[in-house]
Amino acid sequence: MQNSNQMKKLLISIFMMLSCVVMAKAEETILPYEIYGAGTGVQGSYVVEVIVTSKKSNVSDTELVKSAIHGVLFKGFFNDELRQSQKPLVTSSLAEQQYADFFKEFFAGSYKNYGQALSGSRRVTKVNKEYKIKMTVTVYKDQLRKDLEAVGVVSGLNTGF
């Protein structure tokens, strides 16, 4: 009986540890996504539309915000209809690898301060065996840029002067 209890405790511990690892992994990974401009935002922000592809339909809003911020940082976006085109905030193509540790930590949590999902804009469509989850996100790009400048990931206009 005692052995059985000990076994139970051990299994629960292993399960909890595995859950933590899986959750941490999910926090770090970016799901495949597309990003487009969705109009001119208020000063200091971008309004973007992000479409995440996933096998599950219940991808969280924060996951979509994460993809939007990743897109603003490393991909840039455009919209032919709205005649919008923005280059990525991080201009060096090597920066993502160069500051890998910083971005790993950034996308583990602090990214949440720089974006907000527009409520009611979530749309889910099923294409073959996958789901396309679309959402409009406001990215606070000025604050994001300032904070990246402060840690030296991107250079500012007055850097060096």
> Among 98-106, 112-120, 130-138, 150-158, which window interacts with other proteins (CB under 8 A)?
150-158
What is the dihedral sign for C-alpha 26, 30, 32, 35? positive
- φ/ψ of residue 52, rounded to 5: -100, 135
> Would you count residue 156 as binding other proteins (CB under 8 A)?
yes
Give 119 or 158: the residue with its C-beta nearer to other proteins.
158
> Would you count residue 94 as binding other proteins (CB under 8 A)?
no
Options 8, 87, 104, 123; binder of other proteins; rule CB under 8 A: 87
Site string for other proteins, 44-83 (x = CB under 8 A): -------------------------------------xxx
DSSP 95-110: HHHHTHHHHHHHTTTG
User: What is the closest distance, in whole angstroms, from the C-beta atom of residue 127 to other proteins in the complex?
Assistant: 29
Q: Which amino acid would we find at residue 62?
A: T
User: What is the closest distance, in whole angstroms, from the C-beta atom of residue 101 to other proteins in the complex?
Assistant: 21
> Would you count residue 161 as binding other proteins (CB under 8 A)?
yes
> Would you count residue 125 as binding other proteins (CB under 8 A)?
no
User: What is the closest distance, in whole angstroms, from the C-beta atom of residue 120 to other proteins in the complex?
Assistant: 23
Q: Which residues contact 34 (CB under 8 A, 6 or more apart)?
A: 50, 51
Cα–Cα distance measured from residue 41 to residue 44, given in angstroms and rounded to the nearest whole number: 8
What is the dihedral sign for C-alpha 157, 68, 23, 54? negative
